[in-house]
């Protein structure tokens, strides 16, 4: 292959890469919905008690327990509070105090408002990104 053709192919490839990367980074869904402070504390408690070892949020995490992304809208705050207070035969009771439980419920409420766990509900755009 002649060197000029190689140069054209490489230059075109690099240019397209840079243009597409620039487009993607300028359209990041940044700052659309910041976590509120209660949900922030809930996230810290989520990490402290390692809930993610058994549960997924946004589809990421452990697989022993169910995905919790939309548990808040499906089952409600009272159900989550009762479950966290008592545990179940397959989920440990962490003996959390009421305020810790309150932050975790707030975190799950925030997660619920910002994502869907079911990938079948996504629409794939022509540029490969997804829309909920």
User: Which residues make up the interface to ligand HEC (CB under 6 A)?
Assistant: 49-51, 53-55, 64-66, 68, 71, 75, 80, 83-84, 88, 90-92, 94, 104
| Measured distance CA(65)–CA(27) in Å, rounded | 34
- The phi and psi torsions of 16 (rounded to 5 degrees) equal -60, -40
CB of residue 91 to ligand HEC, shortest distance in Å: 3
Task: State the DSSP H helix or E strand holding residue 94, giving kind and residue range, or none if neither.
Answer: none
User: Which residue lies nearer to ligand HEC by CB, 31 or 89?
Assistant: 89
CB atoms within 10 A of CB 69: 23
CB of residue 32 to ligand HEC, shortest distance in Å: 24
User: Which residue lies nearer to ligand HEC by CB, 10 or 60?
Assistant: 60
């Amino acid at each position: 292959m002649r060197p000029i053709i190689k140069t054209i192919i490489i230059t075109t490839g690099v240019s397209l890469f840079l243009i597409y990367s620039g487009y993607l980074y300028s359209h990041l869904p940044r700052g659309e919905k910041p976590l509120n402070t209660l949900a922030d504390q809930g996230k810290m408690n989520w990490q402290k008690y390692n809930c993610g070892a058994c549960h997924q949020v946004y589809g990421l995490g452990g697989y022993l327990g169910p995905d919790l992304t939309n548990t808040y809208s499906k089952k409600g705050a009272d159900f989550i509070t009762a479950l966290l207070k008592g545990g179940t035969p397959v989920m440990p009771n962490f003996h959390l105090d009421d305020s810790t439980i309150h932050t975790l419920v707030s975190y799950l409420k925030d997660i619920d408002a910002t994502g869907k766990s079911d990938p079948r509900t996504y629409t794939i755009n022509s540029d490969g990104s997804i829309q909920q």
